[in-house]
């Protein structure tokens, strides 16, 4: 019987909630399952670890500390930049934009400056996941060498 381990391609349905409030921050409900190559750092660290050994049909619930999820909130990742650096874009609070240094969120806008936060939106949060394994297969050699899953739910290239 197949189980979740390194170099398997796993497809899972999941719902992520904030343990304090019960608020759902992400869910695959009503969508295609999430498909990923196990053991290649495609997922946050604690997520794969908790699923190791699970079989198709297994439902697993676990809560990860911030450190095992999107990391602690790093105050150094909050920066003030001049508003004119945004060029044609009018920055608004709540926007997520991309830069050479990765995605960031706009948290404060004044006439002169914009405060941007490079922390993941879920940084500093413990996260609870309910996960159901819906499909498991061996990864191809090509997938293993690329470090990600191909086909439905994976990379198509």
Q: Where are the beta strands (DSSP E) in 1-126?
A: 8-17, 24-27, 34-37, 59-64, 78-82, 96-97, 104-109, 113-117
H-helix or E-strand spanning residue 143: helix 141-146
Task: Record the tokens describing residue 72, joined without a space.
Answer: 């602690």
Q: Which stretch binds Zn ion (CB under 5 A): 13-21, 32-40, 97-105, 149-157?
A: 149-157
The residue number whose beta carbon is nearest to Zn ion equals: 146
How far from chain centre, in Å, is Cα 93?
22
Alpha carbon separation from 63 to 7, 77, 82, 131 (Å, rounded): 24, 25, 39, 11
DSSP bridge pairs for 138: 8
Q: Closest CB to Zn ion among 39 and 71?
A: 39
146 binds Zn ion (CB under 5 A): yes
Q: Closest CB to Zn ion among 34 and 131?
A: 34
Min dist CB 145 to Zn ion, Å, is 8
Min dist CB 147 to Zn ion, Å, is 8
Site size for Zn ion (CB under 5 A): 2
How far from chain centre, in Å, is Cα 74?
17
Min dist CB 122 to Zn ion, Å, is 27
Q: Which stretch binds Zn ion (CB under 5 A): 42-50, 60-68, 129-137, 140-148?
A: 140-148
40 binds Zn ion (CB under 5 A): no
Min dist CB 148 to Zn ion, Å, is 6
Name residue, tokens 């500093």: 124
Min dist CB 157 to Zn ion, Å, is 6
Interacting residues toward Zn ion by CB under 5 A: 146, 155
């Amino acid at each position: 019987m197949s189980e979740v381990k390194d170099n398997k391609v796993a497809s899972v349905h999941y719902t992520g909630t904030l343990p304090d409030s019960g608020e759902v921050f992400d869910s695959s409900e009503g969508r295609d399952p999430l498909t990923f190559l196990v053991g290649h750092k495609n997922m946050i660290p604690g997520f794969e670890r908790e699923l190791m050994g699970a079989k198709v049909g297994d439902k697993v619930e676990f809560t990860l500390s911030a450190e095992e999820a999107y990391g602690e909130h790093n105050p150094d990742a909050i920066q003030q930049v001049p508003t004119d650096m945004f060029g044609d874009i009018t920055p608004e609070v709540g926007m997520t934009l991309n830069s050479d240094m990765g995605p960031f969120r706009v948290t404060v806008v004044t006439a002169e400056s914009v405060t941007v936060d490079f922390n993941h939106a879920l940084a500093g949060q413990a996260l609870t996941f309910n996960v159901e394994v819906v499909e498991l297969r061996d990864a191809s050699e090509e997938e293993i060498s690329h470090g990600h899953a191909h086909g439905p739910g994976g990379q198509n290239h």
